[in-house]
């Protein structure tokens, strides 16, 4: 029983250290030009979705896990004209992955994980209200 408690405490300690390392990498600065390019890419993805062209939308991006077509109806409802506040964060220390997120005045939050600013490959898209 005592051995199990030690293992549990050690596991929690390792998780806490790991999470603190992740948050440090997530706060890396993104250059102004790179940030603007990533925001422009996210806007393009949303505009393609708004134009009701699902084939183009699905060609333009793919996701890990759940298919983007499941999010298509939600994305169509997002109005970029709501003047959302955009946030861009680097996910890795080398800056190869980025998260672009925004919240519309209608209360919808969209988070997109984008691989490499140069290729602008959409890896994941999450919509919450």
Task: Indicate the DSSP class of residue 93.
Answer: T
* pLDDT at res. 40: 76
pTM value surpassing 0.85? no
What is the domain partition of the chain in residue ranges?
33-128
* pLDDT at res. 79: 55
Give the architecture-level CATH label for domain 33-128: Roll (3.10)
Tell me if 54 sits within 8 A of 86, measured CB to CB.
no
Over residues 8-34, the pLDDT tens digits come to: 343 343 443 333 333 333 444 556 776
* pLDDT at res. 4: 43
Please report, for residues 63, 79, 129, the alpha-carbon distance to residue 107 in angstroms, rounded to integers and kept in the order given.
Answer: 23, 11, 6
Listed as ranges, residues in the chain with pLDDT below 50 are 1-28, 52, 63-66
């Amino acid at each position: 029983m005592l051995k199990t408690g030690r293992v549990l405490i050690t596991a929690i300690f390792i998780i806490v250290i790991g999470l603190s390392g992740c948050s440090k990498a997530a706060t890396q600065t993104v250059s102004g030009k790179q940030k603007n390019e990533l925001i422009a890419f996210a806007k393009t993805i949303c505009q393609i979705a708004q134009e009701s062209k699902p084939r183009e939308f699905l060609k333009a991006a793919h996701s890990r896990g759940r298919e983007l077509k499941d999010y298509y109806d939600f994305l169509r409802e997002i109005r970029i004209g709501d003047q959302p506040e955009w946030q861009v964060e680097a996910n890795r220390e080398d800056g190869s992955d980025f998260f672009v997120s925004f919240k519309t005045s209608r209360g919808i939050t969209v988070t997109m994980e984008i691989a490499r600013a140069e290729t602008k490959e959409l890896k994941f898209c999450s919509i919450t209200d």
